[in-house]
Structure 1
Amino acid sequence: MFKEKLTKIFSIAAAGIMLFSLIGCGDSSQDGKIIIRMTHTQQPESISDLTAKEFQKYVDKKSDGRIRIEIYQNCGLSGGDLTKAIELVQAGNIDIHACAPANIANYNPKFYAFWLPFLFDSTEDLVRFVNSERAKNEINKWCNDLEMTMLGINNAGSRQISSNKEIHSPKDLKGMNIRVPGANVFIDLYRDYFKANPTAMDFSEVYTSLQQKTIDGQENPIAVFNSSKFAEVQSNVLLWDGVRDTNIWVISNKTLEKLSPEDAKIIQESAAEALQWGNDYLAANESSIIENLEKNGTKFARLTDEERQEFKEACAGIFVKYVDVVGPDVINLFQGK
């Protein structure tokens, strides 16, 4: 059903010769190629960047070089501003954007559900959920309400906590200055349930802030910790697996309206293949990333069953708070009810 709805949206586009604006999909180069501008929130050679580059290859091959994907890392078309990036997608000035779903929560708080803790027992459970027809149909409705269409979601890895001391319980986080994304759900989680001092800052500032000890720690997937070279300024990582992160790819509806159904299908199929590539890459490499970091001195703490239960109990109250924010129907959706 999700694929049928997506195809219906793509079919709205008129065939034939189209006039493209100078911004977004609209950049028509002198050789007649269609330029699609894609942004993501991470640095070069991160998992987001590698996945985007695979997408670039697939589109180039399927279109015989007629469609060119331009990739801008670190939200390069919005000056690093995560919120502004969504606005530019809505306006059609960014064609495709890849980000954590909760980055869209300023426009629809239902997206906060992706960052509620302990929703999924495993990565497999997460991937199964985001690929289910029920989830795809519902989440795409949220995107359509914002003048965007979802191309898909992939696993980005669990958001683990790094610091310069060992952490084994929520009590160990008390009073620590922890950098978190600028999303209310994370600020509430760390402030109200872990009793830490959450600090929201641009990702580009995190390394320097850790180096200068302005903050005591940060939380991100291991692949991000590694590609950002945080091991140079942080000695410890807690593998708590509380929040399993994802990347959602959205395309501007304004961009879709400019594409022929055939070209839109190329984008759709290439995105699906790239997102699966990203899942496979992370599954194959995350353990070796941890292994290499350990060999080079990073200390990893792995929770016992009792310690994990302590974290679950500490943050259980956030579901009571956020049922009114995201809605009970969304909580039920994510919990498979």
Structure 2
Amino acid sequence: MNFHKARILPAVFAIVALLFAGSAASAKTFKMAIGDAQGGTQWALAEKFSELFTEKTGGKHKVSLFPNGQLGSEQDTINDAAMGTLDFSLLAVNNITPFSPTVGVLTLPYVILGLDDAVTLTHGEVGKELVENTIRDAGVRIIGWAYSGFRVLTNSKKPVATLDDLKGLIIRVPKNEIMIATYQAWGCNPTPMAWSETFTALQQKVVDGQDNPFITVSAMKFYEVQKYITTIRYIFSLEPLVISEAVFQDLKPELQKAVLDAGQEATLYSEQYLKDSEAAIIKDLEAKGMEISAPADDEKEWIEAATSAVWPKYYDSIGGKDKFDSIMKVLGR
């Protein structure tokens, strides 16, 4: 009996070890690049997606999060995802526009006038079309959206209420043609700069200001280097969560479903997160010494200058004037 056990037990252990090794080998930890620091809507969406994805795969698969540009600039991570060397990237929508121009409709000034507009476009037929376009153009698939609220202008020099007040200020903008053109329409000569360089540039006074949502201003601790906020509300900030299309196509159908379902649920979570957190963040920024004011005359001169100069210039890149009109019709305008 002991002789048989001595022969059988090693064989059993070997089989168990092989099964365990096979299971471990099939499990994967995916990498997600995140443009913003911890504490903002990007981080909230990423954490929720990671939690949901692990849950939906029975704990087998995980997502490691790399915030604050640790894996490169936001545009670099799109390139990496397109090549299949990065699994996920979560970034500002303006940084995907150079790769898939039709997404630029979401960055045209004063097209999105509130969270409801943002949800309508990203959840509906417009959003589905943009997903297909980014797969075709950029090699990445949008699987979720973070809603961060309106971009507001911050600066370290003075309160800004009119376009005249803006003159003379050096404002950092993303490397995005539409946003550059908007500031130029306002009579400003903006400075395009990578997101990863922005805090240092503000700190060293290379630039005077920048624009981003309240939540991002807080998460990035811009209150340490900026004093004034103007609620220009010209772009509602959206951050798509993308997966490399090459990586997505390599996944088994059940894993593809887990990715898509987790992205959809995380998107709904992000919508509620913005509603629940923005007011408190604004109060906290004021408590930290930032002065918040609105543009003069209900922003009319800002709106007129931007829409008259920028909209016609980019009709072709987003699919034509008819496409623009159809999107405005979806928004009831």
- Alignment partner of 1:301 out of 293, 296, 299: 293
Residue 52 of structure 1 deviates from its aligned partner by: 0.4
* Alignment-derived partner of residue 37 in structure 2: 43
* Alignment-derived partner of residue 73 in structure 1: 67
AA of the residue aligned to 1:190: Y
Answer whether contact 1:166 1:238 (CA < 8 A) is retained: yes
Residue 246 of structure 1 deviates from its aligned partner by: 0.4
SS of aligned partner of 1:209: helix
Deviations 1:196-229 (A, max 9, x none): 1211122232222222221111101111101111
314-323 or 40-49, which moves further after superposition? 40-49
Residue 333 of structure 1 deviates from its aligned partner by: 4.1
More helix, by proportion: 2
* Alignment-derived partner of residue 136 in structure 1: 127
AA of the residue aligned to 2:167: K
**TM-score of the aligned structures, taking structure 1 as reference length:** 0.85
Matches within 5 A, 1:1-337: 30=24, 32-77=26-71, 80-132=72-124, 134-145=125-136, 146-164=138-156, 165-191=158-184, 193-303=185-295, 306-316=297-307, 317-326=309-318, 327-336=320-329
**TM-score of the aligned structures, taking structure 2 as reference length:** 0.86
Residue 102 of structure 1 deviates from its aligned partner by: 2.3
CA distance in 1, matches of 2:206, 2:141: 39
Deviations 1:69-108 (A, max 9, x none): 111223433xx22222112111111112222222122222
* Bigger radius of gyration among the two: 2
CA distance in 1, matches of 2:221, 2:119: 27
Aligned length: 305
Residue 181 of structure 1 deviates from its aligned partner by: 0.6
Query: Percent identity, aligned pairs only?
Result: 27
Residue 29 of structure 1 deviates from its aligned partner by: 9.1
Deviations 1:139-191 (A, max 9, x none): 12212203322213231211100013111122211121001111111111112
CA distance in 1, matches of 2:287, 2:249: 51
CA distance in 1, matches of 2:52, 2:251: 17
Instruction: Structure 1: give runs of 5+ residues left out of the alignment.
Output: 1-27
